[in-house]
Structure 1
Amino acid sequence: MTEFVHLHVHSEYSLLDGLSSCKELAERAVELGNRALALTDHGVMYGAVQFYKACREAGIKPISGMEAYVAPRSHRDRDAKLDRKPYHLVLLAQNDTGYHNLMRLATIAQLEGFYYKPRVDKELLAEHSDGLIVLSGCGSSEVSRLLQNGQSDQARKVINWYRDVFPGRYYLELQEHDIPELTQVNRQLISLARELDLPLVATNDTHYTRREDASIHDVLLCIQTGKTVTEPKRMRMNGDSFYLKSGEEMAALFPEAPDALANTLRIAEMCQVELEFGHYHLPPFQVPEGYDAQSYLRHLCEEGLHRKYTPVTPRERERLDYELDIIHQMGF
């Protein structure tokens, strides 16, 4: 059996684009003998907790990630001609710092960068680069688009930027989906990897769990675009290859780059994120000198009590003590 880990996977939380539930993906990964599985939904982390729990329940390592939308200019720019087509980029959390940076990027993308898609930009990526592993992306990535347009020198500049910002954590991503342009890009990426001494990684752009799910996924795309399956001119995936493939299937796609498959295992080993449940995660609150959190809360409540009640009767005092006891007993 060829060992392989899927690092580019969309669930139903890639709304109207991914078909599978987190549970289905985790269970199928186990059937394939995978030791880990990543989730990289489009621009969001809605499914992160559910995915983490599903993988733990299935007995494999969850890898938290996101396929980010990167604005061609600033994430705040909103020009209809220049900013409607963001680049795709895969981000994986290597550790707890990376997981928090993923959450920050996803939040900023929604609150500040949303223009058709939730977007970040390179300045934000550099600011939140710690603990993140980066895959160069699919055919809609910046590097792939430049190579498809014959701009190999500019592609090198982009690659070098990512290599500098994510030292030792940037991989050139290979995908094969019977798309002629993508096949040509793969050849160039392999050449650039050898030239620039960068690692390759093989992925499958997974949007559904099994090959036979392709027709159902096609219906989902019709819902997304407001079309019917009988319309010839509509968005559709090229073939039925966007599923969780076996290691053997992936090895057959990239016989010239066995290191690209081996690096999926390497990345899986690098990613060590543990999420804790059943505990409160409260933000730190600075209290004045001479107080701890409980005594300062008591101090504030006492001030408020005397401000609102004159005089303070045993009834109000008893109620305040009761409320504070409940708060402290619950761990707040």
Structure 2
Amino acid sequence: MSFVHLHVHSEYSLLDGLSKVDKLVQRAKSLDMPALALTDHGAMFGAIAFYEAAKRAEIKPIIGIETYMAARGMRERDPQQDQRSFHLLLLAENDQGYQNLLKISSASQLEGFYYRPRIDHDFLAEHSEGLICTTGCLSGEVPRALQAGRFDYARELLDWYMSIFGPDRFFFELQHHEIPELLEINQKLIDLGGRYNAKFVATNDVHYVDPEDAELQDILLCIQTGSLVSDPNRMRMTDPSYYLRSTQEMQQLFGDVDGALSNTLSIAERCNVDLDFKGYHLPDFDVPQGYTPETYLRSLCEAGLQKRYGTHADTPQVRERLDYELRIIHEMGFDAYFLIVWDLCRFA
């Protein structure tokens, strides 16, 4: 039995994650893991670097994000009600899912930012296609509701997530760290699983690669919170277990939960995002009705030819040169590119 880490933070989880992308990938490779996810806090800055590093190491990259869910609407900014937000793990199952992750990441920063880059239920529902979702860590909506004893509300939340993602794209996430209430929350999730015929997935809330990195990551948290290492009341991780655990360690922790390990492999198999840079990806350039990019570019060049060469515009030498250059441009697929540059120069 192998295992895939699906809840992983890198150095791109600023002042929180310590892991260098290359070191994460190499460690997963050395543990014989077939794939690895990257799910940084509220951002996807590291997606391309991670994708390329995983491809070089010949393990499968899974692109994700741990987004923040607003307590109310993503545009609400009341200091009493909206300061707190909840964590939610999202993974791109396909290219459409990756596009939706980009939209979620951008909107959370540009439209929903209040202490954290946030989205809300409505925005998530509109951009849920191609995404796999879990209940998240202890700071997720459902775990927080269970921790507060709001069982009816937890079921309402689960009903909503199931209605958006369905049982094949929504998983009950289980973690194991030295947090007193975490084992209780895991058991409550397991108990609720029967009501939904839920699938479970085991994760480790990875913030660094090796156990000995815990001290350095703790210093990062001090910088983030403006605290001293000696401060006994500051925010800190509960224990040095937030590293890239081996398959054997995860088996010891979750081997008794049906599907918790094997589902990480099935999710990895389902997640197929292609970020290879093949060919050219140019913006669409709207041309006047009746034209194609090729014919519109030619019409502009014909007009420019008359302006520049006047009575000499139709000489064989000039005409031959224009036809040659336009043919090369078209064969290379650069018609739209030249129109875009022309438009920019005209605007400038």
TM-score (normalizing by structure 2)? 0.88
Instruction: Specify whether residues 324 and 104 from structure 1 end up closer, same or farther in structure 2 by C-alpha distance, changes over 3 A only.
Output: farther
**What does residue 146 of structure 1 align with?**
145
Distance 1:213 1:282, change over 3 A: same
Question: For residue 341 of structure 2, what is the aligned residue in structure 1?
Answer: none
Superposed, which structure 2 residues align to 1:1-332 within 5 Å? Answer: 2-167=1-166, 168-300=168-300, 329=332, 331=334, 332=337
Change in Cα spacing, 1:109 to 1:327, as seen in structure 2 (3 Å) is farther
> More displaced, 103-112 or 33-42?
103-112
Task: Give the drift of 1:256.
Answer: 2.9
Task: Give 1:32 shift.
Answer: 0.9
Q: Deviations over 1:172-214 (max 9, x none)?
A: 1101101111111000001111222111111000000011110
* Inter-partner Cα distance in structure 1 for 2:255 and 2:237: 24
* Superposition CA RMSD, Å: 2.3
Write the distance in 2 (CA, Å) between the matches of 1:134 and 1:12: 23
Distance 1:302-1:237 versus aligned 2 partners, 3 A rule: farther
Mapped contact 2:255–2:261 kept (Cα < 8 A): no
Deviation at 1:110, TM superposition (A): 1.2
Structure 1 stretches of at least 4 aligned residues deviating more than 4 Å after TM superposition: 300-306, 308-314, 320-330
- Displacement of 1:220 in angstroms is 1.1
Aligned CA distance change for structure 1 residues 44 and 323 (closer, same or farther; 3 Å): farther
Secondary structure class of the residue paired with 1:92: strand
- Cα–Cα, structure 1 residues 287 and 9, in superposed 2: closer, same or farther, change >3 Å? same
Distance 1:59 1:202 in 2: 23
Extract unaligned runs of 5+ from structure 1.
Answer: none
1:295 offset after TM fit, Å? 2.3
How far apart in 1 are the matches of 2:239 and 2:39?
21
C-alpha contact (below 8 Å) 2:200/2:258 kept by paired residues: no
Q: Which amino acid aligns with 1:263?
A: N
Deviation at residue 261 of structure 1 after TM alignment: 0.9
What letter matches 1:175 in structure 2? Q
Mean CA deviation greater in 288-297 or 21-30? 288-297
Structure 2 Cα separation of the partners of residues 310 and 31 of structure 1: 66
Give the match's secondary structure for 1:5.
coil
Report the 3-state secondary structure (helix = DSSP H, G, I; strand = E; otherwise coil) of the residue aligned with 2:232: coil
**1:87 and 1:289, CA in 2 relative to 1: closer, same or farther beyond 3 A?**
same
Is the CA contact (8 Å cut-off) linking 1:139 and 1:182 kept in structure 2? yes
Distance 2:233 2:126 in 1: 41
TM-score, normalised on structure 1? 0.92
Q: Which stretch shifts more, 89-98 or 270-279?
A: 270-279
1:276, distance to aligned residue in structure 2 (A): 2.0
Shift of 1:171: 0.3
Change (3 A) 1:142 1:163: same
The 1-side partners of 2:214 and 2:326 are apart by 56
SS at match of 1:125: helix
* Number of equivalenced pairs: 327
Gap change, CA 1:323 and 1:241, over 3 Å in 2: farther
Distance in 1 separating the partners of 2:67 and 2:101: 9
- The 8 Å contact of residues 174 and 203 in structure 2, kept in 1 or not, is answered as yes
Alignment partners' CA distance in 2, 1:172 and 1:304: 64
| 2:177 counterpart letter in structure 1 | H
Which whole-Å CA distance do the structure 2 matches of 1:262 and 1:247 have between them?
11
Secondary structure of the 2:171 match is: strand
Structure 1 contact 305–312 (Cα < 8 Å) conserved: no
